[in-house]
Amino acid sequence: MKLEFDLSLYLVTDSTMVPAGKTLAETVDQAIQGGVTIVQLREKSADTGDFIATARTVQSITRKARVPLLINDRIDVALAIDADGVHIGQDDMPLSEARRLLGPHKIIGVSVQTCEEAEIAVRGGADYLGIGTCYSTNTKAVKVGPQGPAGIRAVWEHALKVSEPPCKVRAVTIGGVNQYNVAHVLNYACAVNGTCLDGVAIVSAIMTAPDPRLAAQGLQQQINTARQTSGLRPKYDIDHVSQQVAAVFAQSKAGSITPLVQHITNSVVINDCANACLALGGSPIMAADVEEQADLAQVVNALVINIGTLATEQVAGMREAMRHANLHQTPIILDPVAVGATTHRMQVIDEMIRDFGICVIKGNAGEIAALAGSAEMKMRGVDAVGTGFADPVAVVKQVALCHRCVVVMTGVVDYVSDGTNTFAVRNGHKLQSVITGSGCMLKKHQ
């Protein structure tokens, strides 16, 4: 009978990364204590005899902890020590041959980078897929460059599509995943039907850590958080949403909550945004320097990013703030001002959405059109131009589903969607379109 296995926190070893004063066995042992659920021993340059000796040492640790041990690539080593299974790549032994040699009860995972490779592996009976690479990595040479969470999702959705019940395919992603981005990766790579990846494969974030146990614990905490928030959003009616919004404003008015809101925003409206935040019962802090983001992230309750007056040094501060916000599960509100007006702005926003978990994206119709890839609206500077969307509800829902966040599209009628629930808000005023910063200040309500 095949061993049950948990892919949630999957350690891939690399002995060359072990810090001075530690051994590979100690690192694996401590990582398992911290929450690693499965181990793949990868020793690309080891001789057969040395590989077998190392594998036996590591196996004594994994068996004691009842954690499966897989061998990377080397079927002979797996057979020699009676490992729990193997992980093979596209240039290794074919899956069918590996299964013939190992038998039906061993775990076999397959690395895939494309939909075609995933389909072949699924139909060939792989027990799980390792989809990558997500982000750039130096731990392994790859033929296909980093795909980001969106690319991982595309392969994952195809694998699910070709997977035949009752044998549901399982998968992890690998490549540049760490405690700062793991929750974002799991949320963003979740399939449109709500089926999420089974876990993540980690190399350097654990292998290079001074304390592998703490590193694994931190990753496991982020994974648990992602599992609670990923997937399909529940359906809400307008009365429920109205009650929740009213309750928040009532608490704010009563002074029972005073959220500390960090703003990295444009210089045109910085004072107006601070005053709007104060008026709504919040406490604003305008802080953009890279060096202070780690400290601020420990105390702020929300982070607002606005690229209105875009500058290179400001982007560095924004990215560092977003990185630490993700670590602390602090909500990020992104205002992609004039995205689509220039190639540079589009690139900056694309990279932010790829690398960080965003809770809310707020934009005018032209900005949302740029994110949706729609030609119905355009940007002329910071202004949206065009006749409007034929179906604005479908557009905001599409962007929300694509980016796994809430999308607010402002205009004569504002539209708000989380991909499941979509509402129209008709409370604007024509004067809002003839003053500067009304949209920027809107984020303080979110």
pLDDT at 227 over 50: yes
369 contacts 340 by C-beta, under 8 angstroms: yes
pLDDT at 204 over 90: yes
State the residue for tokens 């009860």: 105
Pairwise CA distance, residues 182 & 387, whole Å: 40
DSSP-assigned states of every residue in 40-101 = EE--TT--HHHHHHHHHHHHHHHHHHT--EEEES-HHHHHHHT-SEEEE-TTSS-HHHHHHH
* Residue scoring higher pLDDT (69 or 140): 69
pLDDT at 69 over 90: yes
pLDDT of residue 333: 98
CA-based angle 392:398:401, to the nearest 5?
A: 140
CA nearest to 425, candidates 445, 404, 402:
445
Can you give the pTM of this predicted structure?
Answer: 0.91
DSSP code for 342: B
Pairwise CA distance, residues 209 & 18, whole Å: 8
pLDDT at 380 over 70: yes
pLDDT of residue 240: 86
Max alpha carbon distance in the chain (Å)? 78
Q: How many other C-beta atoms are found inside a 10 Å radius of the C-beta of residue 161?
A: 14
Phi-psi region of 35 (alpha: psi -120 to 50; beta: other; left: phi over 0): left
Q: At what angle do helices 343-355 and 312-327 cross, to 10 degrees?
A: 20
Of 109-113, 134-138, 310-314, least confident by mean pLDDT is: 134-138
pLDDT of residue 99: 97
CA-based angle 285:288:290, to the nearest 5?
A: 130
Q: What is the mean pLDDT of residues 333-341?
A: 96
Q: Percent helix, strand, coil in the chain (nearest 5)?
A: 45, 20, 40
Average pLDDT score, the chain = 92
pLDDT at 143 over 70: no
Q: What is the mean pLDDT of residues 330-357?
A: 97
Among 359, 402, 405, 440, which one carries the catalytic annotation? 440
Of 94-108, 144-158, 234-248, 356-370, least confident by mean pLDDT is: 234-248
> pLDDT-derived band of residue 396, with 50, 70 and 90 as boundaries?
very high
- Amino acid 80 reads A
pLDDT at 171 over 70: yes
pLDDT of residue 255: 81
> pLDDT-derived band of residue 140, with 50, 70 and 90 as boundaries?
low
Of 140-149, 152-161, 264-273, least confident by mean pLDDT is: 140-149
State the residue for tokens 């539209």: 415
Q: What is the token pair recorded at 382?
A: 């910071």
CA-based angle 195:322:436, to the nearest 5?
A: 110
Backbone phi, psi, residue 314, to 5°: -70, -40
Radius of gyration over alpha carbons of the chain, in Å?
24
- Amino acid 164 reads E
Q: At what angle do helices 148-162 and 343-355 cross, to 10 degrees?
A: 60
pLDDT of residue 444: 47
Classify residue 299 by burial, with Cβ atoms within 10 Å: 0-12, 13-18, 19+: exposed
* Residue scoring higher pLDDT (350 or 436): 350
Q: What is the mean pLDDT of residues 121-136?
A: 96
Q: What percent of the chain has pLDDT over 70?
A: 94
Q: What is the mean pLDDT of residues 102-118?
A: 97
Question: Catalytic: 440?
Answer: yes
Pairwise CA distance, residues 350 & 11, whole Å: 29
- CA 230 vs CA 197, 222, 239, 357, 395: distances in Å: 10, 12, 24, 11, 21
Tens of pLDDT along 254-305? 888 899 999 999 999 899 999 999 998 999 999 999 999 999 999 999 999 9
DSSP code for 135: S
pLDDT of residue 44: 87
pLDDT at 139 over 60: yes
